[in-house]
Structure 1
Amino acid sequence: MSPTQQRNPFPFSLPPSFTNTASSALTAVSQHIDTSVILPTALAALASVAGSGLSRDRTTVGPAGELISEGVCWGVWAGVLLLAGGGVGSGKGLGLSWDLGLSGIGGRKRGRAGDGQEGDGDVEVGLLELENGNGNANGGPSSASAGAAGRGTEEGDAAASWSVWAVAVGLVVAALYRAELGDIALFPVLTPLLLLADRRFRPEIQRPSGGLGALAYTAWGTALVAVFGLFALLGRDAVGWALVLIPMVALFIVYAALIPRSVDARQWLTSVPELEEVIVPLAGRVGILVVVGLGAQAFVFGIRSLAFGFSALLLGLLKAGFWYFTVEAARNTSWVVATAIGTFGLVASRDPYVQLSNTQAFLPFFASLLVLAQVIYALPSQTKGRMILWALFLIPFGPYLANIAAIRSAQSSALHSVAHPIEVLARSARSDFKQILDRQSKTYSSAIKEYQRRYGVEPPQGFKEWYEFVVANESPIIDEFDAIHDAVAPFWKLSGDEVQRVMDEAYNTPGIDLWLCSYSSENSETTCKHPWRGSDRHIAEMFSSVLGDLHGLIPDTKFLVNHLDEPRVLFPHGTNTEGKKPLSLMDLSEQPTWDAVTKYCPTKPERGIANPPLEEAGLPLVANLTHSLDLCKHPEYATSHGLFQAPASFKLIEGLVPVLSTGSPSTLSDILIPSPAYLVESEFQYNPASDIPFSHKASNLYWTGSTTGGVSSASHDWHTFHRQRFLTLAQNLDHSQHHTYLHQTQGSTAPTTITTSFLNTHHYHVSPTRIFQCATPLACRQQRAHFRTLPWQPADAAFQSQLAFDLDGNGISGRFYKLLASHSAVLKQTLLREWHDERLKPWVHYVPVSMGMGELPETVSWLVESARGRQFAEEVAREGREWMGKGMRGVDVKAYLWRLVLELARVGEKGRGAIKEVE
């Protein structure tokens, strides 16, 4: 085969007419475009964008797929080069010798593989075209054979082999990082670093520094582009700097090893030959390291972690295309263009539909423009048609423009002048709450009568002193304590001695995990004991601090307190013999609990079949909180909340046992108390110095936190846990999910509904900061790949947003009161009843959110985008904050706990007889 002939690697031929036509077309194009430079650069950029976008979707490619794609990349390239005419020798050194006949190589290679003779060759540097246009510069002696001098020596072979290993390790380390943590956010920094390395290795090369060429060949220009690239890539995906440095250093070694060296250049890393000359040994080394990496993944995460699909193979082909065309483009410039093209792929493939703000959506768009200019002006100035590469700007510009258009369309059609259903619910809620406040007893005698009317018995001893305290401290709630009565009333069926016996029996049950607390009337102190635990999670501290000054006003009392976040007690109401049955303890930790907690529902619908939600104007808004919390009416909750799928701890006590807990679903019978987190834990206390006025806050919904609420495993799908469902919605990760919005049509006085997959993620500052509670490492790894995470955030970061979201964790959320006290409007989702339910009114003090969250996109959109919505949000924030200073103060909590302990003291009083009928 003559040197000008090329072997056809494909087992077919095209018709002469077709090839002639194509040849004529290519000839015409080549007269205006330098295809040896422009085409490889464009194709490398396209492969970089497509590969970066596909790699970023780690739930599709998978961590194992990312590693496998690296092996596919180099394996495919090596195979294609061998098929295209390469040969592999078997002597000393690298043992490679082929003539690829590729356009733009511009050099000669000569030598036999493994014959022990010295070889020589000329390799064009090509960068001097920037100055004199002739492109002829000898890069020094070069040989692909083994011999007694130059690279043919054993020392040179060892150094070259070490360099190939270094490149292979760098490539696989970077792939491992992408597999586990996503984008290498510091990648743009490689361009200025490589420019410095190139100057060191080839100091004699003159580089242009004027005009836009400064973006490619000056330290300040490349640094400027890198800064904007960093801003575009860091954002919500940032992780610790030390960790990001690892793949950046690895890739720097890779690219630096590929930079040609001058003869006299001082080398800290031996240069590898031209990449195609070492592709076979490099592919072999990468393959070995990929197998090692996959083995490590299987060891840590299990064999199931090695699953991958066709997308991994596609990603490998895209990577191969990127490297092949980048090498071709770099022949006529320098390796600086390689990292510039890689940076373009990263920033241009950023999805504007998932960014947190307009600024974060614009930054990748602007950074793409700068990086593209860097790529274009890195090419020789006389390159014909290089300005055509500006067309690549359409890659980031199209999605950015489409996102802006979708946002403006949604804003223009949102409700502005027509009354929103939320406003209707809010007016009704305010009226109801005003009536509750107005009807509270005004005198002690009226309070006695109201108590008798509600509960059919006399108030407990000490009620008068309690009433006087409430009035003296202007507590607005005097009669609304039905939750206490409803929880305590079943124990009237037992005598006081039986209540004491039940508590002792429960406390002494192995593994029950309850605190037995005693309140001393003499010194007003509460002490708690536990069979094996040392810390009571501030239970005794809370009771002692709240009730510590009530000497002699409360009888000596004993009560059980739940140590766990999750609720505990289940018993059927309406039976008279339950207290005489032995209690049972069932440990359902990390197991489904739905069937157990709903076993006493009066009419139990088939599991998973939902009752039609109460809807307002086509939206599942929470119109009735009691109905929304009723598990018996919502079998779909079985697969909507982590508590019912795989709670971290769930030790269910079945029997008539008085246990105090901070939260409980509708079907369980825990006696509700305020959480110590609300009162004594500093992390959850409101700090006015950290807050700002509502008008100064960002117009978005904020939530960051951990993935508590359920334990993820192979048998428990974390996708359906409540916190993970919220994160998936707010981060717009499920593109098959459709959202309902209310639209205002011209000339209509009533809103209409539309359904679309569009979600304006600029309205949501939502990310997990800690992914844990996983039965296996694989479950946490899957979530890290699925969600866009943030590092730890300040405790009061939510105060910077107008809307603050709050939802259940393993139990109740300790943040709730702090958020209510702030200048932000609180959106609250919960399935747990709390002590304050009778004094906090949804749509007045906070915005309730349904478990299905079908109304959330429209709610957030209206509260953020419309003037009436923003006004309503500010009113909710003000009402919640003011009520925290009126009805949720320390004295109000004291009033609740005082009354609760009085009721507990009465039902547990020694010598009290059982009462079978209590209203």
Structure 2
Amino acid sequence: MDYILNTLRSIRLPARYYSLVVPAIATVIVLTILFNIIDSHINAFVPLPKFLSKSKQRELPKTRGDNILYGGHFFPHREWMVPRHLDKFEKLFLDSYLEYRAFLDRQSRTYADAVKNYKKRYNRSPPPGFDKWFSYAQTKASLVIDDYDSIEESIAPYRNMPQKEFLHRMEELRVYDNVFRIAEYKVIERNELMKGQGLWHLLDWDFFYDLPEGFLMYINTWDEPFVFPQELNRTQKIEFFDLGRKPWWPALLEHCNVWEGRNSKYVRKNDRHDYIATIQDAKEALDLCAHPEYEGMHGFFNAPGSLMVTKQLVPIFSVSKLSVFKDLLLPSAAPWHPEFLGNGGIKDFVGKTKKLYWRGSATGGDNNGDNVLKSHRSRLASISQEHPDLIDAKVTTYFGDLEGLQQQWREFGEPERTDHGAENNFSFLMDMDGHGLSGRYYRLLRSKAVVFKSTAVQQWHDDRMFPWVHYIPIRLGMKELAETVKWFATTERGDEIGRRIAEEADWWSRTGVREDDANVYTYRLFLEYAALFVEPRPN
């Protein structure tokens, strides 16, 4: 205050003005402090007038204690104040967004923290080489250090297997030509073969040389998973069975009864929401043993086009799986291939046609005259016919036997062909399974549109893709699809939240599910897997 008075005296104002100017300046200072307090706390719930709003850009991860709920990467956070009344879809977005923020904020920043959090989470010390993995993750600017529960879940059955039996089963796999064997650092030497398979050649596996001696792995070269355990007798020899082109659901029920003991690891709540609300809900929705209503909702359940399985528990790496399979999940490099990721002409969210758009072939199952509309892709096209003002979904190529082809033609008419560029004109894009995982998912996330996703497939990124923040989750039955699209397409708040989701997805696709992030995940997976060869376990 003395500084202010001296400054005013230097200006040589008449003395009578001091009694007016000084209180005015003091008032401005007090109001500025007050508005800053409101800015960081109250305004998270009640929006300030625009002329009092500050315009500043923020990037995640935020600092601890930041209470701005709708803070964004691309827009001034004043555009995202929470209204007094929340629609159900706004609440779904907000709750998941807070969970996402907490997820980013809790990740370890130092190696000591990473070790501490690992021990706390898994009740054991990290595997050998964890320090090198952490350095690698830091070099790749990975935002995810601690949350790799999907790896833990997939490795867990093999931790309980006696080491002698584990090694014996690895030897048994040598005679099968439908798996790709990597041993004794030969991955680089056999890279040309890997290119031929088209699945892993984009991934940087230089860290392979840091793994323990004796490391041996088998990679599934098919789209479908392999390990479908149903036999509790561990002494039986490994055999592969063909379950393709016929109803598969009875075999699934047998697995749930024998292997899972009729109990799912997820507890179904009586008051379960109609919508997939949280990331845990999204995982629960993939648990086939917990959802008997899924029968007839997916082409793979009806009659998979091809499916070779072993009923014995054996460690095989695959790029996707259903919950009842015990394959170890590797990232597929296919989504980063230019054929899938390339998309020129991306347009901003504003100004696009407010419809849900999808084009794709009738893959995902063996279509016949009885099961065409039970296929997930055909059902989407059928829903589109019921809601043409909201959904534009068409099949581009038909597959199946003669009766199946005729049935598809009667239902949908002549197949419509189109190019990838057409999707850039729509605000909402649908992503669905094919024979296995969707190769277009990451491209859609970068398209500055809202991605709606319906899937039965587990993938490596499931621990880090947050529903209602990065995509809109849709159950296999798709009963909620039209209502959800309508809210985003026809309401002011739907448009605002949709724009935000489109930007969050674009940012996360370039920050959290990059090729580098897939490599960090793969390195971590290999460390945990390699420990099975060196850590003593009871026989």
Shorter-normalised TM-score: what interval? 0.7 to 0.9
Partner of 2:319: 662
Deviations 1:845-889 (CA, angstroms, capped at 9, x unpaired): 000001111111110111111111111111111000001121112
Q: Which amino acid aligns with 1:463?
A: F
Give distance in 1, aligned partners of 2:154 and 2:253: 18
In structure 2, the partner of 1:853 is 478
What is the match of residue 226 of structure 2? Answer: 568
Q: Please tell me whether the aligned partners of residues 727 and 766 of structure 1 are also in contact (alpha carbons under 8 angstroms).
A: yes
Corresponding residue for 2:130?
463
Letter paired with 1:713:
N
Give the conservation status (yes or no) of the 8 Å contact 2:394–2:416.
no
Paired residues for 1:822-901 under 5 Å: 822-901=447-526
In 2, the alpha carbon distance for the partners of 1:614 and 1:559 equals 43
Determine if contact 2:431/2:452 at 8 Å carries over to the other structure.
yes
Output aligned runs, 1:321-360, within 5 Å: none
Indicate if the aligned counterparts of 2:353 and 2:426 stay in contact, CA closer than 8 A: yes
Deviations 1:684-709 (A, max 9, x none): 1143x321111132111110010001
Which has the larger displacement, 852-861 or 558-567? Answer: 558-567
Residue 585 of structure 1: how far off its partner (Å): 2.2
Counterpart Cα distance in 2 of 1:828 and 1:644: 18
Deviation at 1:589, TM superposition (A): 0.4
Q: Residue deviations 1:396-427, cap 9 Å, x none?
A: xxxxxxxxxxxxxxxxxxxx996321111111
Query: In structure 1, what is the Cα distance between the partners aligned to 2:184 and 2:412?
Result: 47
Query: Which portions of structure 1, spanning 4 or more consecutive aligned residues, are displaced by more than 4 angstroms?
Result: 523-529, 602-605, 611-616, 619-623
**In 1, Cα distance between the equivalents of 2:423 and 2:270?**
30
Among residues 335, 339, 345, which one is paired with 1:683 in the alignment? Answer: 339
User: Aligned partners of 1:445, 1:604: CA distance in 2, in Å?
Assistant: 41
When residues 817 and 854 of structure 1 are mapped into structure 2, their CA distance, relative to the original with a 3 A threshold, is: same
Conserved 8 A contact 1:516-1:528: no
Change (3 A) 1:551 1:491: closer
2:199–2:334 CA contact under 8 A, matched in 1: no
Once residues 190 and 95 of structure 2 are traced to their aligned partners in structure 1, the CA distance between those partners, rounded to angstroms, is 42
Q: Is the 8 A contact 1:767 1:789 kept in 2?
A: no
Aligned length: 447
Matching residue's letter, 1:663: S
Task: Write the distance in 2 (CA, Å) between the matches of 1:474 and 1:454.
Answer: 22
CA apart distance, 1:612: 8.7
> 2:72 matched to which residue of 1?
none
Report how far residue 620 of structure 1 moved.
4.5
- Secondary structure of 1:770 counterpart: coil
Q: Structure 2 length normalisation: TM-score?
A: 0.77
What is the match of residue 416 of structure 2? 791
* C-alpha spacing 1:477/1:426, structure 2 compared with 1 (3 Å): same
Q: Verify the 8 A CA contact 1:823 1:878 in the aligned structure 2.
A: yes
- 1:758-817 Cα distance to aligned partner (Å, 9 max, x none): x3x122221111111x1x223112201211444321123222211000011111111001
Aligned partners of 2:318 and 2:327 also within 8 Å: yes
Letter in 2 for 1:722: H
User: For 1:507 and 1:722, how far apart are their aligned partners in 2?
Assistant: 36
Q: After superposition, where does 1:500-519 map in structure 2 within 5 Å?
A: 500-509=167-176, 513-518=178-183
What's the CA shift for 1:558?
2.3
Alpha-carbon spacing, 1:857–1:621, altered in 2? closer, same or farther (3 Å): farther
Q: Quick one: which of 200, 205, 211 aligns to 1:554?
A: 211
Query: Per-residue deviation at 1:731?
Result: 1.7
Shift of 1:908: 3.3
Question: What value does the CA root-mean-square deviation take over the aligned residues?
Answer: 2.7
Query: How far, CA to CA, are the matches of 2:217 and 2:423 in structure 1?
Result: 37
Aligned to 2:216, the other structure's residue is in SS state: strand
Partner Cα separation in structure 2 for residue 862 and residue 879 of structure 1 = 19
Q: How does 1:407-806 map to 2 (within 5 A)?
A: 419-494=86-161, 496=163, 498-509=165-176, 513-518=178-183, 520=185, 524=188, 527=191, 536-542=196-202, 545-548=203-206, 550=207, 552-555=209-212, 557-571=215-229, 578=234, 580-601=235-256, 602=260, 604=262, 616=273, 619-622=274-277, 624-679=281-336, 681-687=337-343, 689-714=344-369, 716-732=370-386, 759=387, 761-772=388-399, 774=400, 776-806=401-431
The 1-side partners of 2:316 and 2:301 are apart by 20
What does the per-residue CA deviation read over 1:28-78, in whole Å, with 9 as the maximum and x for residues that have no partner? xxxxxxxxxxxxxxxxxxxxxxxxxxxxxxxxxxxxxxxxxxxxxxxxxxx
For 2:143, what is the secondary structure of its paired residue? coil
1:826 and 1:614, CA in 2 relative to 1: closer, same or farther beyond 3 A? farther
CA deviations over 1:638-685 (Å, ceiling 9, x no partner): 211111110001112111211111211222211111122113x32111
In structure 2, the partner of 1:287 is none
- Show the 5 A alignment for 1:187-266: none
Partners of 1:694 and 1:823 within 8 A in 2: yes
Which letter maps to 1:913?
Answer: P
In the aligned structure 2, how far is the partner of 1:705 from the partner of 1:471?
Answer: 38
| C-alpha distance in structure 2 between counterparts of 1:584 and 1:785, whole Å | 41
Q: Give CA-to-partner distance per residue, 1:489-543, whole Å, 9 cap, x none.
A: 222234555434313313414xx7222234618x8555587xxxx975223524x
SS of equivalent residue, structure 1 residue 810: coil
The answer as to whether partners of 1:663 and 1:812 remain within 8 angstroms in 2 is: yes
Structure-1 residue corresponding to 2:537: 914
Distance 1:604 1:493 in 2: 20
The one-letter code of the counterpart of 2:248 is: T
Task: Please give the secondary structure, in 2, of the residue aligned with 1:731.
Answer: helix
Shift of 1:598: 3.3
Contact 2:200–2:334, Cα closer than 8 Å, also in 1 = no
Q: What is the SS of the residue equivalent to 1:541?
A: coil
Structure 1 stretches of 5 or more lacking a match? 1-415, 606-610, 733-758
1:538–1:829 CA distance, 2 compared to 1 (3 A): same
**TM-score normalised by length of structure 1:** 0.46
Instruction: State which structure, 1 or 2, has the greater radius of gyration over its C-alpha atoms.
Output: 1
Q: CA deviation at 1:821?
A: 1.5
The 3 A distance-change label for structure 1 pair 474 and 500 is same
Distance 1:880 1:525 in 2: 37
Q: Which letter does structure 2 place at the counterpart of 1:476?
A: L
Equivalent runs, 1:44-63 vs 2, <5 Å:
none
1:614 positional shift: 5.8
Counterparts in 2 of 1:614 and 1:653: CA distance versus 1, 3 Å: farther
Q: What is the Cα deviation at residue 832 of structure 1?
A: 1.0
**Contact map agreement 1:519 1:525 (CA 8 A) in 2:** no
Taking the TM superposition and a 5 Å limit, the aligned residue runs for 1:10-159 are none
Distance change (3 Å), C-alpha of 1:880 and 1:582 = same
Task: Work out whether residues 824 and 874 of structure 1, in 8 Å CA contact, stay in contact via their aligned partners in 2.
Answer: yes
Secondary structure of residue in 2 paired with 1:569: coil
Equivalent residue letter for 1:852: G
Question: What letter corresponds to residue 728 of structure 1 in structure 2?
Answer: S
Select the structure with the greater relative contact order (CA < 8 A; seq sep ≥ 6): 2
Structure 1 counterpart of 2:537, which letter? A
Q: 1:767 corresponds to which letter in structure 2?
A: K
Q: For 2:450 and 2:414, how far apart are their aligned partners in 1?
A: 24
CA distance in 2, matches of 1:620, 1:457: 36
Deviations 1:351-384 (A, max 9, x none): xxxxxxxxxxxxxxxxxxxxxxxxxxxxxxxxxx
